[in-house]
């Protein structure tokens, strides 16, 4: 009986010790700081850190036409060609999204993300009254030219690559037209060719999809803004927003997705952006649209058909945010030393995110050879081809 009592006591002691240990472990877990947004930013930054001998990783403000504008410069070998990315919007910076698609590019290019006048970090860094002075298409084109000159001067490059996405393709065409000798090639992604024709295509797509899905709410809201765009009448943000709501829902912005929230969420853990910078995105967008929406709706490149440099277009087959059909028709009229249209069959407007592997493949195979031919590229890495039995 005594042995049984001792055994029972021992078991109770072990149980008590286990309970204490469990409580202590729980206390340790509860006292550990919760995983934070900044933790995620730090992880992304550490995973993308450039450590190569000839690499460059810079986040800095530069003077541009009386303002301070932010650029990010990243690449594993500064001997590679520079690729300047002109973001869309207006005022929709890609710097906080670059971590989702750009890292592999940095093996082959020195990639520059630039927050334009009125966008993101640049909007946050300047007095809006000073920024407003250059908020025209001409002013933004002059800014882009100034950034190109800074890059050519700072990194000792005769030519660079110019990539314009969406609104950025408006600036891209204008700068490429003005200074063809500055660039190896111009690359248009989601290319704007005729804004009003593009909007009409997007509206037609949204209506067709709404009918196909028997979506009475969408049909009612789209009918309320017909005809769209109204001829000889300015477009406003509210009307455009109603078209965009259903165009986006049916995959005309990001193919196969009903929402763009995934993209906005990705910005939250960008190492380059603070909370204040994130807040500045929406504020800068509203600010920029006040000045640029009207001029943007009048963009028509139908008479801009002669280029003095190679032109590449990367178009998503399902892009109705900027109509791929309008862009393709414009491309057919172009005269250039070389030109190439590349289709992305599983993409809409966000081609570099939707098909990142194919996007990089075409950058390397179709664009980079112009720089290699000009001697503006890092040496190829060694490859050994060993055959068993030789």
Does residue 5 register a pLDDT over 90? no
Residue 192 pLDDT > 50, yes or no?
yes
Exposure of 217 by Cβ count < 10 A (0-12 exposed, 13-18 middle, 19+ buried)? exposed
What distances in angstroms separate CA 114 from CA 62, 80, 83, one per listed residue?
Answer: 10, 19, 11
Predicted local confidence at residue 158, as pLDDT: 98
Q: Which pLDDT does position 313 carry in this prediction?
A: 98
* pLDDT value for 27: 56
Judge contact between 81 and 56, C-beta under 8 A: no
289-329 confidence digits (pLDDT tens): 999 999 999 999 999 999 999 999 999 999 999 999 999 99
| β partners of residue 352 | none
Whether pLDDT at 22 is above 90 = no
Lowest mean pLDDT of 28-42, 75-89, 216-230, name the range.
Answer: 28-42
Angle at 317 between CA 314 and CA 320, to 5 degrees: 100
**Once rounded to an integer, what is the mean pLDDT over residues 110-133?**
96
Q: Is the pLDDT of residue 14 over 90?
A: no
Q: What is the pLDDT of residue 30?
A: 59
Average model confidence (pLDDT) across the chain: 92
State yes or no: pLDDT of 191 exceeds 50.
yes
For residue 29, what pLDDT band results from cuts at 50, 70 and 90?
low
| Beta bridge partners of residue 57, listed in sequence order | 74
Domains of the chain: 43-196+255-373 (3.40.50.1820)
**Which pLDDT value is given to residue 154?**
98
Cβ(61)–Cβ(139) below 8 Å: no
Cα gap 304→294, rounded to integer Å: 20
When pLDDT is cut at 50, 70 and 90, the band that residue 140 belongs to is: very high
Report pLDDT for 380: 85
SS3 for 170? helix
Q: pLDDT by residue (tens digit) across 268-290? A: 999 999 999 999 999 999 999 99
Distance CA 171, CA 145 (A): 9
d(CA 291, CA 295): 8
Nearest residue to 301 (alpha-carbon basis) of 269, 329, 282: 329
Q: Which pLDDT score, from 0 to 100, does residue 390 have?
A: 55
> Distance between CA atoms of 355 and 274, rounded to whole angstroms?
28
More confident residue, 384 or 243: 243
pLDDT confidence of residue 44: 95
pLDDT tens per residue, range 141-185: 999 999 999 999 999 999 999 999 999 999 999 999 999 999 999
Percent pLDDT > 70 in the chain is: 91
Q: What is the pLDDT of residue 383?
A: 76
Token reading at 384: 């050994």
Q: How far apart are CA 292 and CA 74, in angstroms?
A: 29
């Amino acid at each position: 009986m005594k042995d049984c009592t001792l055994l029972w006591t021992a078991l109770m002691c072990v149980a008590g010790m286990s309970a204490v240990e469990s409580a202590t472990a729980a206390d340790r877990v509860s006292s550990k700081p919760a995983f934070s947004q900044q933790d995620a930013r730090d992880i992304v930054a550490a995973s993308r850190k450039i450590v190569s001998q000839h690499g460059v990783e810079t986040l800095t403000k530069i003077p541009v036409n009386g303002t301070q504008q932010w650029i990010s410069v990243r690449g594993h070998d500064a001997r590679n060609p520079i690729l300047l990315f002109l973001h869309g919007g207006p005022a929709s910076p890609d710097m906080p999204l670059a971590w989702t698609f750009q890292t592999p590019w940095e093996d082959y290019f020195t990639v520059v993300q630039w927050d334009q006048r009125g966008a993101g970090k640049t909007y946050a860094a300047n007095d809006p009254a000073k920024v407003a002075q250059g908020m025209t298409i001409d002013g933004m084109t002059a800014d882009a030219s100034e950034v190109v000159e800074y890059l050519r001067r700072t990194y000792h490059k005769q030519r660079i690559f110019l990539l314009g996405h969406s609104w950025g393709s408006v600036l891209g065409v204008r700068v490429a037209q003005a200074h063809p000798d500055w660039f190896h090639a111009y690359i248009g992604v989601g290319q704007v060719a005729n804004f009003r024709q593009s909007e009409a295509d997007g509206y037609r797509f949204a209506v067709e999809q709404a009918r196909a899905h028997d979506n009475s709410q969408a049909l009612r809201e789209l009918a309320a803004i017909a005809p769209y765009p109204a001829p000889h009448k300015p477009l406003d943000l509210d009307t455009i927003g109603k078209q965009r709501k259903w165009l986006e829902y049916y995959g005309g912005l990001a193919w196969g997705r009903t929402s763009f929230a995934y993209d906005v969420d990705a910005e939250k853990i960008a190492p380059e952006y603070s909370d204040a910078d994130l807040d500045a995105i929406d504020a800068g967008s509203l600010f920029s649209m006040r000045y640029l929406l009207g001029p943007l709706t009048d963009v028509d490149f139908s008479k801009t058909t002669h280029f003095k440099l190679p032109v590449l277009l990367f178009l998503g087959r399902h892009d109705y945010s900027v109509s791929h059909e309008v862009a393709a028709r414009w491309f057919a009229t172009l005269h250039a030393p070389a030109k190439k249209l590349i289709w992305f069959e599983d993409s809409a407007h966000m081609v570099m995110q939707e098909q990142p592997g194919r996007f990089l493949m075409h950058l390397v195979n179709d664009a980079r050879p112009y720089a290699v031919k000009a001697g503006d590229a890092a040496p190829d890495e060694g490859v050994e081809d060993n055959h068993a039995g030789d």
